[in-house]
Amino acid sequence: MRTTLPLILAFISGIIMVVSFFINPEQKVLGDISQELLIWASIIGGFSFLLGAVSITRVNWRSYKTRRPGWGYNLVTIVGVFMMAIPALWPTSWLPESMASLAGRNAGSVYDWFFLYLATPMSQTMFAILAFYIATAAYRAFRARSSQATLLLITASIVMLWRVPMGEALLRVIYDGLPEIINTYIMAGINMSVQRGIIIGAALGAATFSLRILLGIERTYMGKG
Amino acid sequence: MLYCFVRHLTTRLLTGLLTIVALVTITPAQICAQEAPAGFFRTDRINMLVAVIFFSIVVLIYTRWAKQGKPLFIRKINGLDAVEEAVGRATEMGKPVLFIPGLQEIDEIETIAGISILGRVAKITAQYETPLIVPVRYPMVLAAGMEVVEQAYTEAGRQDSYNKDTVRYVAGDQMAFAATVNGMMVREKPAANIFMGAFFAESLLLAETGNAVGSIQIAGTARPEQIPFFIAACDYTLMGEELYAASAYLSHEPLLLGGLKGQDLMKLVIIASIIIGIVLTLFGVQTTFTSWFHQ
């Protein structure tokens, strides 16, 4: 029963979604059922956030308690979680009127302040670091150790040159139509065809995988098989 | 042998013929309708319906053949063969294996594929008694991941080794997730990093950090824009469809492998359709068949 019931549920839910795709949305019969299913998924997702909160607290608390390497970060994480969650969930009616704006998630609240001045800059910093990581990865990928790597190096150099205004101007000095040739043959030609090949393959793979799930052949996502 | 070959060829030709018949019997008016008609069915999506039915039949035929015990050739995927090797390396070094099932919700097919592969990897780590760390971004993925890993440990007969904190919720924010996992990599120095699922801008942040700490890295994603980053920073990369084939490949179960063969035949049909479409378009022939490509 523990295996069969989820399989039946997966089959029915999947079939409803597939059939509703081919039925006119104005015909409310299946259209509404598919929408209902999506709403249920959102509700279940909302409840599961409690599971996430328990997990993040338990894992970090254990690491802090046993003083594992980097326990300071675990402590900061726990403090951060509650520092953001408590003011956001605190009912505004429980505070004096002068301090009511500090609770909740509106502009000027404690949550908003932490989000704007701590979470966002830290997130942006992480994103900015990506530039350095691209440089190191590109260095490794472009080392001309084989004929394929050399080809990649040459192609990438041409494309990078074409992507910046100064490079484009330089290419136009060599031959006026060179940037257009690069765009037509490298980007819209070779690059696009390879990408589409991967996309078609991935779409077919996803469709086969979905079919295996619908028919109950693929059970590995439940830990079975 | 000749009989088998002829039957195989006939089946393939018949399936191909059926598609073409299906294609030409649909009127251009049905295919080229741009707006959803007022009827019960969406006739503007009838081409997709035909494709879905045909595809399902092909997959089912191959699955049935696999069930009957017919040998199916599946090409070697180096990245998947390396999974056991990577776990073995981690065991020898006494270091953990880090597995990330992507950064999308459980309703994404890539995440489900990642979770399926996680089950296989967890079974191997359970057998070798190698620590496994699975950071996730969504609580629903956490619940599914915990279930899969626990089941894998039970099936491997090592339920006592299962740690409830193996699968852990890390952060809901993309960059916070990347920062936490990078910190884990630097502190725990996992011997193997396995990235399977949907990844975005953080793909290179994760893979480069893993590379810097000297982990063996295997990645798989269906997002074409992230594949170059993984190729540059990882030892093995599964591209597109290989991600979805992974769980079947690792299981060696004929029933699952049958689906892969059906998928290959469908690819063959698509390639043939593209070539026919190109030729017809080049010669300026406008038929129902070519109008399929405008949808």
Q: Give pLDDT tens digits for A163-210.
A: 899 999 999 999 999 999 998 999 999 999 999 999 999 998 998 899
In this structure, are B133 and B275 located in the same domain? no
Closest residue in A to B223 (Cα) is A199
Which positions of chain A have pLDDT values less than 70? 28-31, 225
In the prediction, which pLDDT does B178 show?
96
Using alpha carbons only, give the angle B90, B92, B97 rounded to the nearest 5 degrees: 10
Closest residue in A to B59 (Cα) is A208
| Identity at B279, one-letter amino acid code | V
Closest residue in B to A41 (Cα) is B107
What 3-state DSSP class applies to A219? Answer: coil
In this structure, are B245 and B115 located in the same domain? yes
Q: What's the CATH code of the domain at B224? A: 3.40.50
Give chain B positions within 8 Å (CB) of A213.
112
* DSSP secondary structure of B77-141: -HHHHHHHHHHHHHHHHT--EEEE--SS-TTSHHHHHHHHHHHHHHHHHHHHT--EEEEESSHHH
- Closest Cβ–Cβ partner in A41, A48, A127 for B175: A127
Order of strands, edge to edge, in the sheet holding B216-221?
B167-169, B132-136, B97-100, B192-196, B216-221, B236-239
Q: Contact B153/B122 with Cβ under 8 angstroms?
A: yes
- Residue recorded with tokens 């492998």: B257
A207 touches B at CB < 8 Å: yes
In this structure, are B111 and B194 located in the same domain? yes
In this structure, are B236 and B104 located in the same domain? yes
A85 touches B at CB < 8 Å: no
In this structure, are B187 and B122 located in the same domain? yes
To the nearest whole angstrom, how far is the Cα of A97 from the nearest Cα of chain B? 32
Tell me what ipTM this predicted complex has.
Answer: 0.88
Give chain A positions within 8 Å (CB) of B247.
218, 220
In this structure, are B11 and B30 located in the same domain? yes
Tell me the CA distances in angstroms from B187 to A46, B14, B96, B180, B210, one per residue in order: 32, 58, 11, 11, 11
In this structure, are B136 and B173 located in the same domain? yes
> Distance between CA B168 and CA B179 in Å, rounded?
15
To the nearest whole angstrom, how far is the Cα of B2 from the nearest Cα of chain A? 30
Q: Contact B146/B167 with Cβ under 8 angstroms?
A: yes
A201 touches B at CB < 8 Å: yes
Domain with B274, as residue range(s), is: 2-71+254-291
Give chain B positions within 8 Å (CB) of A14.
none
B/e letters for B54-82, b = 16+ CB within 10 Å, e = fewer, are bbbebbbbbbebbeeeeeeeeeebebbeb
Domain assignments of chain A as residue spans, ordered by start: 1-87, 90-128, 143-225
- Pseudo-torsion of CA B167, B172, B174, B177, nearest 10°? -40
In this structure, are B114 and B221 located in the same domain? yes
> Distance between CA A43 and CA A52 in Å, rounded?
15
In this structure, are B269 and B237 located in the same domain? no
Kindly determine whether residue A206 and residue B107, on different chains, have CB atoms separated by under 8 Å. Answer: no
How many other C-beta atoms lie within 10 A of the C-beta of residue A15? Answer: 12
Interface residue of B120, B140, B209 to substitute, partner A, most A CBs within 10 Å: B140
To the nearest whole angstrom, how far is the Cα of A105 from the nearest Cα of chain B? 17
In this structure, are B181 and B86 located in the same domain? yes
In the prediction, which pLDDT does A123 show?
95
Helices (H) and strands (E) in chain A, counts: 9, 0
In this structure, are B189 and B141 located in the same domain? yes
Q: Are strands B167-169 and B236-239 parallel, antiparallel or unpaired?
A: unpaired
Smallest CA-to-CA distance from B113 within B291, B243, B262 is with B243
In this structure, are B217 and B151 located in the same domain? yes
State how many domains chain B has: 2
Phi-psi region at A25: left, alpha or beta (left = phi > 0; alpha = psi -120 to 50): alpha
- Show pLDDT as tens, one digit a residue, over chain B (295 residues): 444 444 444 434 333 433 333 333 333 444 444 455 567 788 888 888 888 898 889 888 988 888 888 888 888 899 999 999 999 999 999 999 999 999 999 989 999 999 999 999 999 999 999 999 999 999 999 999 999 999 999 999 999 999 999 999 999 999 999 999 999 999 999 999 999 999 999 999 999 999 999 999 999 999 999 999 999 999 999 998 999 999 888 887 888 888 888 888 888 988 898 888 888 888 888 777 677 666 5
Kindly determine whether residue B165 and residue A24, on different chains, have CB atoms separated by under 8 Å. Answer: no
In the prediction, which pLDDT does A29 show?
65
Q: Contact B143/A48 with Cβ under 8 angstroms?
A: yes
Smallest CA-to-CA distance from A61 within B140, B166, B165 is with B165
Number of A/B CB contacts below 8 angstroms equals: 203
* DSSP secondary structure of A38-92: HHHHHHHHHHHHHHHHHHHHHHHHHHHHTT-TTHHHHHHHHHHHHHHHHHHHS-G
In the prediction, which pLDDT does A32 show?
73
- Closest Cβ–Cβ partner in B116, B139, B183 for A221: B116
